[in-house]
């Protein structure tokens, strides 16, 4: 396996086969591993990884790490891919490359209480490198990285770049607050101003509040969907 080198304050744990790095990272976090651990599984057709965080703020604020990791991914791929490749972020963690769905971010934490400081928080990334089948015409809204002109982007280098850019945005969030992350993320979000369905609710995606909660308008009423609704049960 090609060596993956992480920036200071981060460390790597490689897993192989069918082991899910997201679940492994959550288990490691629950037993008390250091923050900054990146668990990853690189296979010929996919890149899967997860970063462990040790928040010092309530969960409702710590969940900013989900959009932070999304911005980090966009910056990472943007630095390695051809300039014509467009990367956008769905509010719910979905990733889009050149308009088509390509991978997902997911999140879990040691608590689901918004006002409680979680013992740990994990953000996972899954990215298909090659399409599952030889024919992609049956699923035009689904794609894979190497089908979008990114065949020269090596998975280990993309993982390293994601870690570096995410760490940079964590530092900015820590020093400057949520405003710079908010501004960068808004320029990348997919579907703003369009009618979408989220958590079983359909409406016009107006934007987000200061904690990245989705503002959804339907028939004159505006609903707030907080990021806490994206937390996975383990």
| Buried b / exposed e along 101-117 (16+ C-beta atoms within 10 A) | bbbebbbbbbbeeeeeb
Q: Cα(first)–Cα(last) distance of the chain, in Å?
A: 29
Residue 109 host element (H or E): strand 100-109
Q: pLDDT tens, 158-179?
A: 999 999 999 999 999 999 999 9
Give CA–CA dist 224/213, Å, rounded.
Answer: 6
Specify the pLDDT at position 138: 60
Which token pair is 122? 């994990």
CA atoms within 13 A on the CB side of 98: 15
Please list the pLDDT of the chain residue by residue as tens digits (234 residues).
578 999 999 999 999 999 999 999 999 999 999 999 999 999 999 999 999 999 999 999 999 999 999 999 999 999 999 999 999 999 999 999 999 999 999 999 999 999 999 999 999 999 999 997 655 556 678 999 999 999 999 999 999 999 999 999 999 999 999 999 999 999 999 999 999 999 999 999 999 999 999 999 999 899 999 999 999 998
81 touches 149 (CB < 8 A): yes
Q: Closest Cα to residue 170, out of 27, 25, 20, 68? A: 68
CB atoms within 10 A of CB 72: 26
pTM over 0.75: yes
Contact at 8 Å (CB) between 188 and 89?
yes
The residue to which tokens 């993982």 are assigned: 159
pLDDT one-digit tens code per residue, 94-107: 999 999 999 999 99
Q: How far does Cα 21 stand from its chain's mean position?
A: 14
Phi and psi at residue 40, to the nearest 5°: -145, 155
Q: What is the largest CA-CA distance in the chain?
A: 55
């Amino acid at each position: 396996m090609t060596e993956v080198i992480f920036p200071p304050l981060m460390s790597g744990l490689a897993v192989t086969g069918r082991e899910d790095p997201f679940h492994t990272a959550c288990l490691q976090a629950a037993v008390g591993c250091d923050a900054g651990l990146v668990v990853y599984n690189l296979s010929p057709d996919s890149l899967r990884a997860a970063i462990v965080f040790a928040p010092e703020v309530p969960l409702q604020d710590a969940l900013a790490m989900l959009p932070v990791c999304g911005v980090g991914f966009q910056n990472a791929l943007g630095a390695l891919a051809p300039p014509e490749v467009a990367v956008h972020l769905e509010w719910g963690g979905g990733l889009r490359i050149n308009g088509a769905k390509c991978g997902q971010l997911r999140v879990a934490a040691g608590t689901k209480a918004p006002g409680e400081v979680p013992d740990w928080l994990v953000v996972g990334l899954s990215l298909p490198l090659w399409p599952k089948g030889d024919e992609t015409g049956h699923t035009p809204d689904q794609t894979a990285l190497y089908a979008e002109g990114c065949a020269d982007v090596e998975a280990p280098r993309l993982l390293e770049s994601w870690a570096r850019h995410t760490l940079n945005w964590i530092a900015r969030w820590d020093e400057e607050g949520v405003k710079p992350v908010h501004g960068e993320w808004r320029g990348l979000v997919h579907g703003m101003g369009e009618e979408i369905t989220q958590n079983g609710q359909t409406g016009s995606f107006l934007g987000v509040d200061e904690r990245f909660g989705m503002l959804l308008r339907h028939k004159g009423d505006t609903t707030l969907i907080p990021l806490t609704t994206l937390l996975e049960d383990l």
